[in-house]
């Protein structure tokens, strides 16, 4: 099952690096919407992504609208703390796009209002503002993969009697 991760104006290089590593582990494509809050040459970005950069298809866009125009028939789901539906309430289609906003502000309210039927949230206690961006991406992408019974995923190596 193909999954597309979209980061709209990410600000923290370590988060994006961690998301690159997650994308490599699950075979997801990463779409980055400019402006980025860091250089893609940033040492923190590279360190967090380790040596997985060559394992991920990464695409850059000057605007979110540019991405939408490239994939007009695809379904997009918008992660926000303001949604009524949780990420587990959705049956995700193949090749869906999971959209996440910048760390300091999330996604623009105008975008959320236009797409409120496709907004999803991760449940949290009421006094917590939000989860870390890279953790949020991992939580939701693994739900999408779980729904497809982890199609295309493999077990690494063989277990021995000593590994249990």
Q: What is the pLDDT of residue 118?
A: 98
Predicted TM-score (pTM) of the model is: 0.90
Closest CA to 26 of 117, 159, 146, 108: 146
Q: What is the pLDDT of residue 41?
A: 72
Contact 120, 90 (CB under 8 A): yes
Contact 10, 16 (CB under 8 A): yes
| Extents of the domains making up the chain | 3-147
d(CA 7, CA 35) in angstroms, rounded, equals 11
Q: Does residue 126 have a known ligand-binding role?
A: no
Q: What is the pLDDT of residue 28?
A: 96
Q: Does residue 27 have a known ligand-binding role?
A: no
Tens-place pLDDT, residues 33-79: 999 987 777 566 566 555 777 889 999 999 999 999 999 999 999 99
Q: Does residue 58 have a known ligand-binding role?
A: no
Name the pLDDT band for 164 (thresholds 50, 70, 90).
very low
Higher pLDDT, 99 or 161: 99
CATH assignment of 3-147, among 3.40.1280.10, 1.10.10.10, 1.20.120.160, 2.20.28.120: 3.40.1280.10
């Amino acid at each position: 099952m193909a999954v597309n991760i979209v980061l709209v104006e990410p600000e923290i290089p370590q988060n994006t690096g961690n998301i690159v590593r997650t994308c490599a582990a699950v075979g997801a494509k990463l779409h980055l919407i400019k402006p980025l809050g860091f250089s893609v040459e940033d040492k923190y970005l590279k360190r967090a992504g380790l040596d997985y950069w060559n394992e991920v298809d990464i695409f850059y866009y000057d605007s979110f609208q540019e991405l939408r125009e490239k994939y007009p028939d695809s379904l997009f789901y918008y992660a926000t703390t303001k949604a009524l539906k949780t990420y587990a309430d959705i049956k995700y289609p193949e090749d869906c796009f999971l959209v996440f906003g910048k760390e300091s502000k999330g996604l623009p309210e105008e975008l959320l209002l236009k797409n409120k039927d496709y907004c999803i949230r991760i449940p949290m206690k009421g006094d917590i503002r939000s989860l870390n961006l890279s953790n949020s991406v991992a939580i939701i992408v693994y739900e999408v993969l779980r729904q497809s019974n982890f199609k295309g995923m493999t077990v690494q190596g063989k277990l021995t009697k000593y590994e249990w």
